[in-house]
Amino acid sequence: MKIAVTGATGHLGSLIVKSLSEKIDREDIVALVHNKNHAKDLIKEGYEIREIDFQNVSTLNTALQNVDTLIYVASKTYFIFDRIRELENVLSAMKENHVASLVAMSFIADQEDNPFVMSPFYGYLPRRLAGTKLNYAIAKNSLYADPLIPYLPELIERKGLIYPIGDQELSFITLQDSAEAMATMALKPEILQSRKSYLLTQARSYTMPELGKIMTKVTSHEIGYHPVSVEEFGKIYAPEGDGEELASMYAGGAMGYLHDLSDDFAHITEHEPESMEHFLARNYY
């Protein structure tokens, strides 16, 4: 059985490849990448590398030959139609190559009235897959905890979190836990064939004062909560290129759309997810 992973050199995809390699033979894993020059480490480690372009279905048709299951990590884009075209190209290539099973990455912000700019895609994904004959399971990630680590120096300087979500809570999952769950989903027939969504979260969610207290304990610096407006948040992070998009996500958070919890991770992996405090303490220097 061959399992292909898209985005195999990215943050999540590379961890999925690693997690799979701990469970199945390396020759049964196909790493799908956009540029082989970025996959030198994977090549050295003996993985089969195939190049793809999500917007060019012919490359996907070639790359998915003799693949049984695809783990689809979507590209990072805030252009809805590009993401939908990407998904449609993936599904077309799967059909062309008789790839029967799919594990698809999704996100917690999929509500129909969520203002997050990518919410329409995450609402589209499960409905689109429901109309296929595929075996599939959808991994619906909560917010990644990992970006909080490089964010800590800024928070220490600001002396507080600034997310514009008021008294609402946020749910998180680590990239490592998400990767382990998605790899396991591809290997458990009862999950892979379920045609269901699985919400991946830590055991609890956090208000911003609660999260600040954990950060204060880990860093020994006082980190409170000093929220800015959604508009101001977008302006602050505009130089990074996605301020407006992130602001729209936290606008959904302020509506209570980023705080759901689930025990799906433990159900899939048979152990609990890493807690926020343990994760921050393990990675903070």
pLDDT of residue 266: 98
Residue 52: which of 4, 14, 15, 100 has the closest Cα? 4
Average pLDDT over residues 146-163: 96
* Structure confidence at residue 144 (pLDDT): 98
If you average pLDDT over every residue of the chain, what do you get? 97
- What gap in Å lies between CA 15 and CA 177, rounded to an integer? 9
What CATH number is given for 3-143+174-201+260-273 in this structure?
3.40.50.720
Tokens of 220: 């020994």
Query: Does the reported pTM lie above 0.85?
Result: yes
Q: What is the pLDDT of residue 86?
A: 97
* Cα dihedral 44→50→54→56 (10° resolution): 140
What pLDDT is attached to residue 240? Answer: 87
pLDDT digits (tens, 9 = 90+) for 178-218: 999 999 999 999 999 999 999 999 999 999 999 999 999 99
Token pair listed for 176 = 């490592």
Distance, in Å, from the CA atom of 13 to the CA atom of 70, rounded to the nearest integer, reads 12
List pLDDT tens digits, range 241-262. 999 999 999 999 999 999 999 9
Residue 112's pLDDT is 95
And the tokens for 41? 């480490």
Separation CA 138–CA 141 (nearest Å): 9
Domain ranges of the chain: 3-143+174-201+260-273
Q: What is the pLDDT of residue 255?
A: 98
pLDDT surpasses 90 at 55: yes
Contact 237, 174 (CB under 8 A): no
- Mean pLDDT, residues 134-142: 98
| Residue 285, pLDDT score | 80
Contact 31, 21 (CB under 8 A): no
- Dist CA 168 CA 165 (whole Å): 6
**Dist. CA 80–CA 210, nearest whole Å:** 34
Structure tokens at 225: 């909560």
Which element (helix H / strand E) includes 15? Answer: helix 11-21
